[in-house]
Amino acid sequence: MRGVGPEFAFSLFAAKRYDTGMALVRILVDGYSLLHGWPELAPGKPRHSAVARDELVYILTRYHDAIGTPITIFFDGGGSPPGIPKSEPTGQVEVLFSRAGQTADEMIERAAHRFQPYGEVLAVTDDNTERDIVIGLGGQAASCLNFIRDIESAMAESADDLQRHNRTERNRFRQAR
């Protein structure tokens, strides 16, 4: 994995943690909040850099591939460097930058409101006010640290599963000869 340790596949472990009986329709991530809470991601790079953002998108894309829940990453874009696109969809992982005069928090609130009829959303942010608003809208919220722990646990569990699967297949192949 680029800058985060060894390559791991994912399992469905993290998806189970937030299950409260209603479908989790989307994970809404405050991108800069998560980057600030995860210094091991793109170490030595500024938290607002394209390198750090790209690394976050890479990790969350892999996380989506494991759990299947669409993810939207919101960045405050009013102060972003010129030339950064307004949105960068990559399959079921969507990256959105706010316009000047708008915050990522406002975009998360609007998304949480719009997804209400379809099921719950999970907002990932260290902003307590933002978490309270999303919960008030019927969604769920997680601190960045808890979300990071879930991702890391899912990676470790999946690595164990993959290793066990490879060992089983290797033994099966040897027996067939």
- Average pLDDT of the residues in 164-169: 91
Task: Specify the pLDDT at position 152.
Answer: 86
- pLDDT one-digit tens code per residue, 121-132: 999 999 999 999
For residue 55, the one-letter residue type is E
Which of 126, 122, 141 has the alpha carbon at shortest distance from 28? 122
Full DSSP string of 66-128: HH---EEEEE--TTSPTT--SB--BTTEEEEEPPTT--HHHHHHHHHHHHGGG-EEEEE-S-H
Domain span at residue 111? 13-176
Q: How many residues does the chain have?
A: 177
| Residue 28 within any structural domain of the chain | yes
- Please give the Cα distance from 13 to 39 (Å, whole number): 23
| Residue 3 within any structural domain of the chain | no
The number of folded domains in the chain is: 1
| Residue 87 within any structural domain of the chain | yes
| Residue 37 within any structural domain of the chain | yes
Between residues 115 and 162, the one the model is more confident about? 115
Cα maximum dimension of the chain? 67
- pLDDT one-digit tens code per residue, 13-44: 444 455 445 678 999 999 999 999 999 998 98
